[in-house]
Amino acid sequence: MDLKGLVLAAGEGSRLRPFTFSRPKHLIPLLGKPMIRYAIDDLVSAGVRDIGVVVGYFGDLIREALGDGSSLNARFTYIVQVRRLGIAHAIHLGIEHGFIDKPFAVYLGDNILSRGIEKHLKRFIESESDVYILLSRVKDPSRFGVAVVRDGKVVRLVEKPKEFISDLAVVGVYFFRDPDLVEKAFKTLKPSWRGEYEVTELIQWFIDNGYRVEYDVVSGWWKDVGTYEGLLEALYMLLDDVVERVEGEVKGEIVGRVVIESGAVVEGKIYGPTYIGRNVYVGRDAVVEHFVSVEQGSKILSGSLTRSLVLDSAVIDVNGLRLVDSVIGSNTVIKSSRELRGEARIVVSDYSQIYL
């Protein structure tokens, strides 16, 4: 069966402000590639290459970053969601646009699955289900759409429940067999209390009308990157799986699994797992500790970093200070003119200047 893909990337990323004031969250880089690429690469590796990308907020930047898809072994069709009215509405636009005309997979552009979707896509194709969803056990179900499962069947879906009904969150990947049925379901929906057409309500229509809705609980980790804490958690999980690769110049010391991209120069000390992007410079007075991603073009001149994300072209020169659980925006400068000790947590957006 030939499937199409629909990647949703229209949202404003309000919970990731201030980082999303200057770019869509889907273009925030993690280990050298924008977040949306994890969804796209997953679809492509599973054999889905005809992909619609739903854009809205800073959509021109996403088009510019991704192009026509040919460099990623895919073909992109861009669909504009002018008003962000929810996931079900974005799916409706893909069908109304004429792009979705066969079975399809929907992938939220801010979701990352450690083990991908290939096996789930195969199960969907082999099954006779009308809808196939993925679930993951979570500690705080109130942040997600959740599924109530009884006797091996999904009986109810609830968006962000205020009281506990299930700890099985609905992962941001959905498979649908018949676009005409999806449109029929969409036309019955009304905006929720959030003012959105909810995908949980869309799938509930299939359940209520006797169609086959099947599910699988994902193995490995799944991350819905909505906040900067979630951004760091996704970073830690990605780094936990990183395969060592050293292409840059190492004059200092490396301990553990690291990725050092071409053009990078490391004169200080690196403790893995860590990612050092293209053309990054790590000075001899700098220490980059575990679970750090330093994106392309940044300079770490002094100080130390752990469990942190440094976006592209930032400069950090903080003497003896240790930055922990920090997110440093692109083109940001953090400097200390005096000798500082101890730890600091800094979360600062793009094009900022901090002098300590």
CA gap 174, 73 in Å, rounded: 22
Same domain, 249 and 215: no
CA gap 84, 81 in Å, rounded: 6
Cβ neighbours of residue 42 under 8 Å, at least 6 residues apart? 107, 113, 116, 117
pLDDT in tens, 52-70: 999 988 888 999 999 998 9
Same domain, 177 and 49: yes
For 30, the domain range is 4-238
Same domain, 169 and 304: no
Residue 153's closest CA among 216, 200, 79, 221? Answer: 216
CA gap 287, 267 in Å, rounded: 10
Place 239 in a pLDDT band, splitting at 50, 70 and 90.
Answer: very high
Same domain, 86 and 167: yes
Mark which of 216, 238, 260 sits at the end of a domain.
238
Same domain, 265 and 231: no
Place 197 in a pLDDT band, splitting at 50, 70 and 90.
Answer: confident
List b or e across 270-285, with b for residues whose CB sees 16 or more CB atoms inside 10 angstroms: bbbbbbbbbbbbbbeb
3-state secondary structure of 254: strand
pLDDT at 279: 97
Same domain, 281 and 310: yes
Q: How far apart are the first and last CA of the chain?
A: 59
Helix axes 87-96, 199-208, angle to 10 degrees: 80
CA gap 50, 10 in Å, rounded: 19
Same domain, 280 and 176: no
pLDDT at 54: 95
Same domain, 174 and 85: yes
Provide DSSP, 258-326.
Answer: EEE-TT-EE-SEEESSEEE-TT-EEEEEEEE-SSEEE-TT-EEEEEEEESEEE-TT-EEEEEEEEEES-
Mark which of 238, 271, 288 sits at the end of a domain.
238
Cβ neighbours of residue 64 under 8 Å, at least 6 residues apart? none
pLDDT at 83: 87
Q: Over 90: is that where the pLDDT of 138 sits? A: no
Query: Token pair 């879906």 is at which residue?
Result: 157
Q: Over 80: is that where the pLDDT of 143 sits? A: no
Place 90 in a pLDDT band, splitting at 50, 70 and 90.
Answer: very high
Q: What is the arithmetic mean of pLDDT over 143-154?
A: 80
Q: Contact, 182 vs 91, CB < 8 A?
A: yes
Q: What is the arithmetic mean of pLDDT over 321-348?
A: 90
Q: What is the arithmetic mean of pLDDT over 296-321?
A: 94
Could you tell me the CATH number of the domain that includes residue 89? 3.90.550.10
CA gap 305, 293 in Å, rounded: 10
List b or e across 185-206, with b for residues whose CB sees 16 or more CB atoms inside 10 angstroms: bbeebeeeeeebbbbbbbbbbb
Mark which of 238, 273, 290 sits at the end of a domain.
238
Q: Contact, 121 vs 1, CB < 8 A?
A: no
Same domain, 118 and 206: yes
3-state secondary structure of 238: helix
Please give the DSSP secondary-structure letter assigned to residue 348. E
Q: Over 80: is that where the pLDDT of 16 sits? A: no
Q: Over 80: is that where the pLDDT of 140 sits? A: no
Could you tell me the CATH number of the domain that includes residue 251? 2.160.10.10
Same domain, 187 and 268: no
CA atoms within 13 A on the CB side of 336: 18
pLDDT at 8: 94
Same domain, 119 and 10: yes
Same domain, 219 and 275: no
3-state secondary structure of 212: coil
Overall number of domains in the chain: 2
Cβ neighbours of residue 281 under 8 Å, at least 6 residues apart? 264, 265, 267, 298, 299, 300, 301
pLDDT at 139: 81
Q: How far is CA 163 from the centre of its chain?
A: 27
Mean pLDDT across the chain: 89
